[in-house]
Structure 1
């Protein structure tokens, strides 16, 4: 007996009955299992992330007048453009971003190269030591620095007095307050960025350094033509993360100076906090938060265009 292969019957054999009848196939328990596993995370994300973000935007369109929320549309956003304190906070935040972040990343790059060098003995100990500040609580290390930089009884001014330097008004002078804030931020985040850069540095093939050496490149030439190009993705990552962190900075200036003296260390984060939890102007605080989010997005796109892969 001859078996005849029917293509249409063979094609229909592997098709579910619902699909052959023109109905969408039902999800079996096995297909639903992955969705059930991620459902708790989705719910938590929606409740604690999406809902607050959406409600914050709604709040930014209202203004509390006499205890009653009144819809004002974009009035809170137009108020930003005319608020001198907002521009002061933005300027102070920009100064930290332009001055402190490049210095910190330069130090982190140098530390990463040093941590990767075979000339450094006990490299693991140094890596741990420089990373430890990152696990220190923000408020805790802010209090420590406020004690160290105390003008009258601080350890730093005591050490400076031993070499004949007068007391420096670290936290009471507008300029020195900015410097103090920059020192605290650099101490806390440099080791963290150095570890990220080190992880990328260790993926650069050693053959590239050997080839550079054969071509006559010295230490600086190898760093310029091999190390820096190899670190480019990590530099982009640390730059974006540092930019986002700096624009959102709150703990350090609040603990060290409360935004003073004379608003010299007033950042956008501190100003947002003051409007929300001191003046209870939640609508305006929400508008500040969304303006900050837009600013972070714009700067992130610029950094990706400038430092990203140009292929």
Structure 2
């Protein structure tokens, strides 16, 4: 009887059986991925439908409305409106009130955003290094205005700033200072809104700055201190360069929010006095209320273009340079 052939030790396998097994496992993996992909799309269908119905379609509709003369009376017959091209955009840009609102919004952003960021960064540095006891209580206190309703905050500040009888002017009178009519004087109305908005919104930027500061390696500060760098030089040349991505994020989000500011003037001043606090968003809202839907849609897209330009400039100025 002939014995079966013996394979020599260390003889390489021809790989035929392994290849068949690998092919089968790859086929099973591909099937599993396709099955997971189908399941993901099935689960995403409700969101996609809601997105199309409540986001994509309104955006497309508003873009169409911006090049038509749509009024409130045309809602029952939306396809009977006249296409007028860029006339709404031209009308908006030539509107003195719209230009006044644009100037007020620029003032609000150019003054309010730096003030908010400086206060937020100072509070974050204090919480990261300076304040050691009751740190959690301070964080909660600084962040509390953010989670409070903007309408409630605006109403409280309106009573604080009113003249006469407001708490701020009453406190100033105790030391012999006659406070101005904060919300009734065109020279003081916008600074009052900026002060209130900065107080309310710096908590969000503070939390983000605090996270960025805690991510800076302590070894870098120690090395700089050994080289003789003081606290200010360590902050300027060590902390700030590493904080650039955080600063970019905070600046972009703060600028976007401030370019759309609406609740503050709507609740506190109604855009007055003499349109000194009317914003782009508020004037656009008023046009919707007047039934000028085409003009209001054009104004909305002008605000969108401004936000896109400001965001692009911020990315260009603060992006990481390699």
Q: With structure 1 as the length reference, what TM-score do the two structures score?
A: 0.90
Q: Deviations over 1:111-138 (max 9, x none)?
A: 1100101553211111110000000111
C-alpha spacing 1:208/1:172, structure 2 compared with 1 (3 Å): same
Moved more, 296-305 or 70-79: 70-79
Which of 264, 275, 278 is the aligned partner of 1:263? Answer: 275
Q: 2:250 aligns with which of 238, 252, 258?
A: 238
Distance 1:33 1:66, change over 3 A: closer
| Residues in 1 aligned to 2:184 and 2:224: alpha-carbon distance in whole angstroms | 51
* Alignment match, 2:114: 102
Aligned-partner Cα distance in 1 for 2:191–2:16: 83
Moved more, 248-257 or 114-123: 114-123
1:175 aligns with 2:187: yes
CA offsets 1:220-268 (integer angstroms, 9 cap, x no match): 1111111111211111111001110011110111111011100000110
Shift of 1:30: 4.2
Unaligned runs of 5+ in 2: 6-12, 75-80
Q: Tell me the distance in 2 between the aligned counterparts of 1:26 and 1:126.
A: 51
1:267-299: CA deviations, max 9, x gaps? Answer: 10110011011x110111100000111111111
Aligned-residue RMSD, C-alpha? 2.5
The structure whose Rg is larger is: 2
Can you list the C-alpha shifts for 1:117-163, whole angstroms capped at 9, x where unaligned? 15532111111100000001111111111111111121111111111
CA distance in 2, matches of 1:43, 1:214: 60
In the alignment, the residues of structure 2 paired with residue 173 and residue 296 of structure 1 have an alpha-carbon distance, to the nearest angstrom, of: 29
Change (3 A) 1:13 1:108: closer
Please point out which of 19, 40, 46 is paired with 1:40: 46
1:127 is matched with 139
More deviation, 30-39/215-224: 30-39
Range with greater deviation from structure 2 (262-271 or 32-41)? 32-41
1:156 equivalent to 2:178? Answer: no
> Is 1:286 the equivalent of 2:287?
no
Give 1:308's match in structure 2, choosing from 296, 313, 319. Answer: 319
Q: Per the alignment, in what secondary structure is the counterpart of residue 82 of structure 2?
A: strand
How many angstroms apart in 2 are the aligned matches of 1:65 and 1:81?
19
The TM-score, its normalising length taken from structure 2, stands at: 0.87
Bigger shift: 125-134 or 77-86? Answer: 77-86
CA distance in 1, matches of 2:71, 2:145: 45
* In structure 2, distance between residues paired with 1:79 and 1:310: 41
Tell me the residue number matched to 2:9: none
Are 1:152 and 1:167, in contact at CA under 8 Å, matched by a contact in 2? no
Within-5 A mapping of 1:35-74: 35-64=41-70, 67-68=73-74, 69-74=81-86
Post-superposition Cα deviations, 1:157-209, rounded to whole Å, max 9, x if no partner, equal 11111111113100001111011101110110111111110011100000011
Unaligned stretches of 5+ residues in structure 1: 20-24
* Alignment partners' CA distance in 2, 1:257 and 1:213: 51
Shift of 1:61: 1.3
In structure 2, how many angstroms separate the alpha carbons of the residues matched to 1:66 and 1:204?
A: 55
Q: Distance in 2 between matches of 1:222 and 1:4?
A: 64
Q: Distance in 2 between matches of 1:219 and 1:211?
A: 12
Is residue 71–residue 294 contact of structure 2 (8 Å, CA) maintained in 1? Answer: no
Change (3 A) 1:232 1:155: same
